[in-house]
Amino acid sequence: MSLFRKPQPLAVLVVRDAPDVVAGLRRALETAPDAERPGLERALALAEESAGRSDAELRGRWVRQRLDAVGYEGPADSVEAIKNLRQAEPGLSLRQALTYAKETAATEA
């Protein structure tokens, strides 16, 4: 094991298409008939809320979904949670699982 090992990239990529969705909803709202406006306004508000979430929060939600799927309900940064996360997602390294677990615990606090 080398002390000068290159760090591994994060395994979970957050795809952010929310800005495009927000822009599309705004364009639709500009030309919408009165009957469609309330629904589009609500959709726009939800999309804007989603666009404002941080990458750490989105990864935390991803981790919690994986933990919920295996029936784990405890703290996300426990040894048991990390074990469950790595079993649910075998491609995660221990370092990645630890990073995600800490992010999840921080967003859930």
Angstrom CA distances, 57 to 1, 3, 7, 27, 54, stand at 32, 31, 22, 28, 5
Mean predicted lDDT score pLDDT of the chain = 86
pLDDT given for residue 12 in this prediction: 57
pLDDT given for residue 1 in this prediction: 47
Contacts of 59 (CB under 8 A, 6+ apart): 10, 12, 14, 100, 103, 104
pLDDT given for residue 24 in this prediction: 93
- State phi, psi for 103 to the nearest 5 degrees: -60, -45
Confidence of residue 18 (pLDDT cuts 50, 70, 90): confident
Q: For residues 50-62, give the mean pLDDT.
A: 86
Q: Is the pLDDT of residue 70 over 70?
A: yes
Q: For residues 56-84, give the mean pLDDT.
A: 93
Q: For residues 2-13, give the mean pLDDT.
A: 55
Confidence of residue 105 (pLDDT cuts 50, 70, 90): very high
